[in-house]
Structure 1
Amino acid sequence: MRKLKLAIAALSVVAAVIGGQTAVAAPAAEVVEGSKAENRLLVYSNMGTDNWDPIVAGFNKLYPWIKIETLNLGASEPISRYEAETGTGNASADFIVTGSISDWIRFADKKLAADYKSSEDASLPDWSKPFRGIYTFSTDPMVLGYSKLLLSDDQQPDSFEGFAKVISEHPHLFKGKVGSYGVDGFGGSINWAFVRQHGDKAWQWLDAIGPSVKAGDGSGPMIEKLARGEYTAVYFLSGPVVMPKMETGLDQVISWKYMSDGTPVFMRGMAITGKARNMNSAKLLLDYILSPEGQIAVSKAGFMPYRDGLPSDQLRFGSLEQLGKQIGEKNIILINYDRNMLTGFDDFTKRWAKAMGQ
């Protein structure tokens, strides 16, 4: 009788069918039942509360008894903080979401993720599950941003090659007024993947634009400078940051474009921690985020989902599948977990600094 009740409990949280797909695969009954005895679910991420709100709301429709507490940290902090806290025997995060490539590689090497295979695993592309227990939360495109106040439409190309060309042809419009990330953090992975894709051609483009670039700002400051006309253009701008802002009227002074010759896409990673104190709740959250319904919630949060077959009318800024159709799959540059970056990055940063005139 108890097994029957557990089976019924599991079936009760299976979501409705979306476009012919089951929204959330039925989790193990023991996991659902076990989550009811847990206190809360603590999440460390580099995402704000407003990003989490649609995900938490959708999740709590299925599991209303699970209280989720999220802590917004810098990209490298979720993992380093978890390591520091557990290293001294203190309680820490049950679940981590962040975009720091080198930290995830270290996390995997130290086997810090819970050894859990999601119920959605078979429906996901192989590249999206780079290490055991570590999955991809979203695929965030890096775009070109332009000031409409300073540039005409024909001075706003949709390719990096065109971007380098227009800067070379109109240096007075761009000198000292091109923003981007530096390579000491988040931007390092983007530049690495872009150069890996285009080789010497990428260096030629970077050499051409380097004298005009002021690198080192974050997405927020770069967008503000674009809006004020302090920057004429920004390259490798975070799509999940700029796209939601366009809904607030900023599209009157700023435009953005995917790069038709290679749009870098950042793989934001996630995992249940090996020392999670609310393991069952964390399993349910992971499965939910990876489900079609969860990926739609990820889209509502402002990020780009990557599961195929999602209903386009429910996606806020499209999906990776739609991006591939727009620019061609070969022009999607996955910023993946390339170990060569760990050993060859010093030489890379020297070459990048030379291109930037540093």
Structure 2
Amino acid sequence: MMISLPKACALAAACAVVLTACGASPSTGGSATPTASVDVGKASSVTPLDEATTARAEKQGSVLLYTNADADQMAPITKAFEAKYPAIDLRVLNMNDAQTFQRYATETATGVRTADVVMATDSVGMLDFVAKGHVLDYTDPNLENLPAYARLAPGVVAVSEDPMVAVYNTALIPKDKQPKNLASLAKLAASAKGKVGTTDISNPQSFGAVSSYVTENGDAGWKHLEALGPNTKVESGNGNLMQKLAQGEYQATYFVAGNVRALIEGKEAAKILDYTYLTDGTPLLPRAVAVTKKAKSPDAAKLLVNFLLSVEGQEAACDGGFTPYRDGVDCAYGLPAVEAVVGADHLILGGYPKDIVRNKTTIVERWKKAYDR
């Protein structure tokens, strides 16, 4: 059974339901190919698996992926992977991270076919998944050319480093008035109570953004969030948040998943919505991928991970709105493009925050107090 993320996540059908305007690309995304000063790994030729593993993968014939990325995001990856390996079908089930981990546990307990590969953003959930012995400690040939922050845990590696951004309704806040950092957003929220929104910290992406931001900025970061909290409305997920923003219920939103960039730029939504990276600290959440211990097609799973970490695979991921980080990848949404806007010093990039599992309860409770939840 296919489990899809809410279609509202497509910005209310690119806002066509709300307004039928066609728009140009906003300028906040940075240039396509700036020179990066953050570590983007080493440029490398193709680093494929050995021929024997590839042959076994093709004989296995399919690979099953559970992912929190929606169908539109995954479509370019599926197309590129199956074009490169026509003997292998990539089956994708779209679900949130909690469903991924629970479904895998249930299926393995009952002996039912389960995921060969999982892709998730929930750092605590993925580390728990590793601790329970569900991840194969697989070392892909690409790893030697990847930056250190891409290596998240044994057998777990980042496919992309997705930014959490601010998004504005341009009819209500013109581009030259849009805050570029959380301190300025807090001032806006105080003067426009109820017109600024974010997602609840129970959403793994929201928790990832908050935990990364306060880990990096300490009490100063908490000060900004505590100023925002009383004047911010909270939604369960990005779908509701973006729909209400497009309809004018919100003027501004923050800590929004970066895949909205591809839904805004160059599309109808561009005259209604505009996004920006936060110059006082843009959290980049690693979207982790891992081969499972109970994979029915383990070699096909390794081949998929190998493809996802390659320059070719990262370029396909870019077409779906992911944020590739590898050197040699030409992508308007890539890590160098984010850095070109905010600067290397304001990228909150470093894999999983230190002690994130131990600190989760403290962070969640402090956030709830600030946002009166």
Same fold (TM over 0.5): yes
User: Per-residue CA shift, 1:88-125, capped at 9, x if unaligned?
Assistant: 22221111111111111012212321222111111111
Q: Does 1:160 align with 2:178?
A: no
Question: Structure 2 length as normaliser, TM-score?
Answer: 0.84
The counterpart of 1:222, out of the listed 241, 244, 257, is: 241
Match of 2:163 in 1: 141
Q: Which amino acid aligns with 2:104?
A: Y
Cα distance in structure 1, aligned partners of 2:316 and 2:265: 19
Q: How does 1:245-324 map to 2 (within 5 A)?
A: 245-311=264-330, 315=331, 317-324=332-339
Percentage of pairs with the same residue: 31
Match of 2:73 in 1: 51
Match of 2:262 in 1: 243
Flag structure 1 segments of 5+ consecutive residues without an equivalent. Answer: 1-19
Q: Does 1:329 align with 2:344?
A: yes
The counterpart of 1:71, out of the listed 72, 80, 93, is: 93
Distance change >3 Å, CA 34–CA 345, structure 1 → 2: closer
Q: Secondary structure at the match of 1:325?
A: helix
Cα distance in structure 2, aligned partners of 1:270 and 1:95: 7
Deviation at 1:166, TM superposition (A): 3.3
- Alignment check: 8 A CA contact 1:260 1:327 kept: yes
Q: Secondary structure at the match of 1:180?
A: strand
Match of 1:349 in 2: 364
Deviation at 1:242, TM superposition (A): 4.4
Point out which structure has higher relative CO (alpha carbons under 8 A, 6+ apart).
Answer: 2
Q: Which amino acid aligns with 1:60?
A: E
Q: Secondary structure at the match of 1:199?
A: helix
Q: Which amino acid aligns with 2:336?
A: E
- Alignment check: 8 A CA contact 2:160 2:287 kept: yes
- Alignment check: 8 A CA contact 1:36 1:65 kept: yes
The counterpart of 1:132, out of the listed 154, 166, 188, is: 154
Deviation at 1:288, TM superposition (A): 0.7
RMSD: 1.8
Match of 2:195 in 1: 177
Cα distance in structure 2, aligned partners of 1:115 and 1:196: 28
Q: Which amino acid aligns with 1:322?
A: A
Question: Structure 1 length as normaliser, TM-score?
Answer: 0.87
Match of 1:15 in 2: none
User: Per-residue CA shift, 1:29-76, capped at 9, x if unaligned?
Assistant: 101111232142111111222222211221122211001111111122
Q: Secondary structure at the match of 1:144?
A: strand
Match of 2:39 in 1: none
Q: Which amino acid aligns with 1:155?
A: K
Deviation at 1:261, TM superposition (A): 1.3
The count of corresponding residues between Structure 1 and Structure 2 is 330
Match of 1:233 in 2: 252
Cα distance in structure 1, aligned partners of 2:238 and 2:151: 27
- Alignment check: 8 A CA contact 2:235 2:241 kept: no
- Alignment check: 8 A CA contact 1:134 1:270 kept: yes
Q: Secondary structure at the match of 1:318?
A: coil
- Bigger Rg over Cα: 1
Deviation at 1:324, TM superposition (A): 2.1
User: Per-residue CA shift, 1:145-182, capped at 9, x if unaligned?
Assistant: 111121233320212222223334xx1xx211211111
- Alignment check: 8 A CA contact 1:219 1:241 kept: no
- Alignment check: 8 A CA contact 1:264 1:335 kept: no
Q: Which amino acid aligns with 1:196?
A: T
Match of 2:138 in 1: 116
Flag structure 2 segments of 5+ consecutive residues without an equivalent. Answer: 1-42
